[in-house]
Amino acid sequence: MDVNETRKGAVMVVTLGGRLDSFQAEGVKQKLLDLGAVEKRILVDCAGLEYISSAGLGVFLLMLKTMKKKDGEFCLCGLNERIREVFEISGLHKVFTLYKSQEEALAAAPQG
């Protein structure tokens, strides 16, 4: 599982690569929670993500709740077709702000 962070203006972009399963989810959760403690806006780019299970969805939900609580933002982009379907089955496509690409997400983010 690859997790990389890059700052793009006011947004912290976290790029995930590989497989977000029950075992990997714990490490990703810690990493995102650490970032969430200091960042206001987080965008997770899932373009390199090949697989996700409910454990991964749980991490994203926890982050969304955590960031909303402090008036921050947590968005996702680049979901492949199969991962998008898992979001749809779970009804989570209506809960998260999902962008097609990092470019689209960053263009939509308020500047500053």
Cβ closer to another protein: 9 or 27? 27
* # residues contacting another protein (CB under 8 A): 23
Among 8, 40, 65, 70, binds another protein (CB under 8 A): 65
Map residues 39-58 to x or -, x wherever contact with another protein holds by CB under 8 A: ------------x-xxx-xx
The closest alpha carbon to 80, from 47, 43, 44, belongs to 47
Question: Do 76 and 44 contact (CB within 8 A), yes or no?
Answer: yes
Is residue 22 part of the contact set for another protein (CB under 8 A)?
A: yes
Closest CA to 12 of 56, 53, 45: 45
In the bound complex, what is the minimum distance in angstroms from residue 61's beta carbon to another protein?
A: 5
CA distance 19 to 28: 11
Backbone phi, then psi, for 22, in 5-degree steps? Answer: -60, -35
* 26/40 Cα distance (integer angstroms): 22
**6 versus 30: smaller Cβ distance to another protein:** 30
Contact residues: another protein, CB under 8 A: 19, 21-23, 26, 51, 53-55, 57-58, 61-62, 64-65, 68, 82, 86, 89-91, 94-95
